[in-house]
Chain A
Amino acid sequence: DAGVTQSPTHLIKTRGQQVTLRCSPKSGHDTVSWYQQALGQGPQFIFQYYEEEERQRGNFPDRFSGHQFPNYSSELNVNALLLGDSALYLCASSSDSYTDTQYFGPGTRLTVL
């Protein structure tokens, strides 16, 4: 049973560019959440998708947007990249049921130059 997968593993962009990160959830999971982890910090919640809709959002600007597809996979898009967007981006999947647990992928390391 495959766990959560993310692509690409690493990415280097320059300021002002746009980036798309991808996530495939664990089999049987229908909810995807995205987190940003800056170096030496705990992950910060960006948003959560369920039934192809953004269900909950953290304190991130509109430059951060997402999408969920009918097969439950998800994309995170970041426009107008800033140096401060350099971080590890983590995707987590879960089943929309009470007290379920989120399972994390290995992350995408984004470097903005």
Chain B
Amino acid sequence: GDSVTQMEGPVTLSEEAFLTINCTYTATGYPSLFWYVQYPGEGLQLLLKATKADDKGSNKGFEATYRKETTSFHLEKGSVQVSDSAVYFCALTPQGGSEKLVFGKGTKLTVNP
């Protein structure tokens, strides 16, 4: 079945460090890929998305590229801030569109000043 695998956390970085959170997926067809972020005590916010191979999603300095050949959608940011501390979830919708989201287990990021 469809699944998402994220790198295990937690991840702890110093402010202005480079961030990579790995995400790989298994899906039939052509999924849409997403990164959601969850701040403490809150629901999920969409961070970025990509709907077809080689698309790059970007938002707030975060980027991720849809790599069909490696079935990956790694999240990157060049310089993290303390305010980026949160849990990050990689997710897919199996065929795109308004279908169920399949989530990874999440990666907790802590950024220290």
Other-chain contact of A100, B43, B98, B102 (Cβ < 8 Å): B98
A45/B100 in contact, CB under 8 A: yes
Other-chain contact of A41, B34, B51, B100, B105 (Cβ < 8 Å): B105
Q: A40 CA to B32 CA in the complex, in Å?
A: 24
Contacts of B36 in A (CB 8 A): 104
Number of interface residues of A (CB under 8 A): 30
**Quick check: is B45 within 8 A (CB to CB) of the other chain?**
yes
A99/B32 in contact, CB under 8 A: yes
User: Is the contact region of chain A dominated by helix, strand, or loop, or is it mixed?
Assistant: loop
A97/B105 in contact, CB under 8 A: no
Q: A104 CA to B106 CA in the complex, in Å?
A: 16
Could you give, for residues 69-112 of chain A, a 1 whenever the CB lies within 8 Å of some chain B CB and a 0 otherwise? 00000000000000000000010101111111111111100000
**Quick check: is B46 within 8 A (CB to CB) of the other chain?**
yes
A100/B97 in contact, CB under 8 A: yes
B100/A58 in contact, CB under 8 A: yes
B100/A33 in contact, CB under 8 A: yes
Q: A82 CA to B84 CA in the complex, in Å?
A: 35
Other-chain contact of B51, A42, A48, A99, A102 (Cβ < 8 Å): A99
Q: A92 CA to B93 CA in the complex, in Å?
A: 13
- 5 A-B pairs with C-beta separation under 8 A: A42-B89, A43-B89, A45-B101, A48-B98, A102-B101
In order of increasing CB-CB distance, the 6 nearest A-B pairs are: A42-B103, A45-B100, A104-B44, A106-B43, A94-B98, A104-B43
